[in-house]
Amino acid sequence: MRIFVRQLFFGLWAALLAAAPARAQGQCGTVTGISLPVDTATFAIAQAFGVPSPRHQGRYHTGEDYYGGRNASYLQPVRAVADGRVTYSAPWGWGRDGGVVIIEHTFPDGSIAYSQYGHMEEIPERPFPARYTCVRAGDIIGSVGNARPAPHLHFEIRTNQPDIPGPGYTWDFPTALGWKHPTLFVVNWGAWLHPAHRWHLELNGELRLPPVELADHSLVYLEANRLRRITPDGRILWRASLDKMAVGLFEYDDAAAAAYADGTIQAFGLDGAPRESWTTGIPLESQLLTGERLVFRTADGALVAFGADRETAAWRLDGVPPVASAYAAPNLLAFLTADHQLLSVSPQGQLLDIATLAEPGSFAAAPDGALLAYIAGGLWRVDGAGVWALEREDAPPGGAGSGALLAEDGLLYLFSQEGTPALRAYDRNGQMRWQTDLPDVSGPVTLQQYGGALLLLGSGDVLALNPANGAICNQLRVYPGANVWYSLGADGMLRAAVGAQILALDWATFAGRCG
């Protein structure tokens, strides 16, 4: 009996010890905000996440190394990225390579991640936090140490090894072992913690093709060789594996259809089951436009538009170089080639004009159906006959990274990265109403007006601005990507595919301060 009581006592004591970290973490709270551990105005990434290192036999880097330049890194403060509990703290955790602090963070969805800060140094005025203590976002937890080959901070995010310093490099790619891309993790969680955020879905990579939005605001999208449908609130409804890689995805009947390089088109039902399929007899390379005008570039260098039956070609235009982007105005189709040639094509497939641009530009539609081309040479109007005319003499240069919108109320909005990136608004008489500098926004930029707010969507930026004065009503940033898609549904949700994610924002919450 005594042996049994003793075993029971030690068993209960061990259980209490095992439960202590969980209770401590609960006392440290849930993450409400997150940011990078150093000032990015001073520090830049010297070695990125996941790159093979020649100094370490080609092993992959498990974090990001932040370096502030010669004589500007050593002993600079390092801050906790978010609220959490310290699970490891040792001034000599990496021996001659400096100290290490690890912090455990609990996020609103119940997930747990660990941030590690390596190559640090403890000085009297900036001691390391004690193990199992709580820290708050922005608390100074140490200083950049004098590590090899130069003073820098090694920063990690991971879901493994909660209380031992990581190896720094791994033979397998780190994401397969529980490491996360640090900047991607921090930036995206900063967006997911925004009050307007409703849901998000992480993807394995950027979407090659825009998703299809169905009548109920569910989305059908293509990821690698799988077709997926997600509900209006972001839950995966079904997956359909494709026998081959699709080069096109478009709305068909009440659901969607995928197009393949051999010219075959396969329709799918609302339940993801394959329906009818047919062959167009045209080898396809890439989808350029969708909707009423379904246009592909073919493997033999032509543009082909399909008719309403999605089977027969409505028109064909031969001899077209690889196309980088396309835009459809009511009276004109614009195809920008990889070598910066702008092809103006009529809706019936007639080549009207070829213009050589100095660099890529952005496009918008005028109320009369003409095309507005915002290029390095300014803002131009291209009419239904392909004739160019200067639209605004005082417009700043456009070109790469620009954006343009001619709203229904006649206001013209131009985003230019010439000098300091800025958004400008012009009235019907050509007078500039306001200018808002946006130094942190990178293009290309899409502009759209929804009610009393102006949406600016960049490669990683989402902003709501007041059309009356250009004031920023709200903003957030996600990890950027090259391909951007968005739609504001009748349910009030702004759904956007940016980078390797799809997310939804409540537009009334996000743009509410615009009025």
* Residue whose tokens read 């920063």: 155
Helix (H) or strand (E) holding 184: helix 182-192
Do the Cβ atoms of 120 and 181 come closer than 8 Å?
A: no
Does 264 reside within a domain?
no
Strand-strand pairing, 388-392 and 412-416 = unpaired
Which residues lie closer than 8 Å to 305 by C-beta, 6 or more apart? 289, 293, 294, 295, 313, 314, 315, 316, 349
Sign of CA dihedral 164, 167, 168, 172: negative
How far apart (Å, rounded) are the C-alpha atoms in residues 197 and 509? 9
- Give me the CATH number covering residue 67: 2.70.70.10
How far apart (Å, rounded) are the C-alpha atoms in residues 403 and 461? 13
Does 248 reside within a domain?
no
Parts of the chain with a pLDDT under 70: 1-26
How far apart (Å, rounded) are the C-alpha atoms in residues 361 and 464? 23
**What is 354-415 written as a DSSP string?**
EEE-SS--EEEE-TTSPEEEEETTEEEEE-TT--EEEEETTPPP--TT-EEEE-TTS-EEEE
Does 423 reside within a domain?
no
Length, in residues, of the chain: 515
C-alpha closest to that of 99 among 159, 151, 50 = 151
Query: Which CA distances in Å does 386 have to 332, 334, 364?
Result: 8, 10, 15
Do the Cβ atoms of 434 and 470 come closer than 8 Å?
A: yes
Q: What is the pLDDT of residue 268?
A: 97
Range of the domain at 120: 24-185
Query: Which CA distances in Å does 35 have to 137, 173, 438?
Result: 8, 25, 20
**What is 261-298 written as a DSSP string?**
TTSEEEEE-TTS-EEEEEE-S--EEEEEE-TTSEEEEE
Using a 10 angstrom Cβ sphere, with 0-12 exposed, 13-18 middle and 19 or more buried, the burial of residue 361 is buried
C-alpha closest to that of 218 among 238, 244, 190 = 238
- HEC profile of 406-460: ECCCCCEEEEECCCCCEEEEECCCCCEEEEEECCCCCCCCEEEEECCEEEEECCC
Q: What is the pLDDT of residues 130-168, one digit of tens each?
A: 999 999 999 999 999 998 889 999 999 999 999 999 899
Helix (H) or strand (E) holding 312: none
Does 415 reside within a domain?
no
Q: Please report, in angstroms and rounded to a whole number, the separation of the first and last CA atoms in the chain.
A: 74
Query: Amino acid identity of 429?
Result: N
Does 342 reside within a domain?
no
Does 252 reside within a domain?
no
- Split into its structural domains, the chain has a count of 1
Measure the CA angle with vertex 103, ends 101 and 107; round to 5°: 160
Does 39 reside within a domain?
yes
pTM of this prediction? Answer: 0.90
Query: Which CA distances in Å does 148 have to 72, 143, 418, 440?
Result: 15, 15, 39, 32
How far apart (Å, rounded) are the C-alpha atoms in residues 125 and 218? 54
Q: What is the pLDDT of residue 26?
A: 59
Do the Cβ atoms of 98 and 74 come closer than 8 Å?
A: no
Written as six digits, the tokens of 409 are 């109320």
Q: What is the pLDDT of residue 291?
A: 87
Does 370 reside within a domain?
no
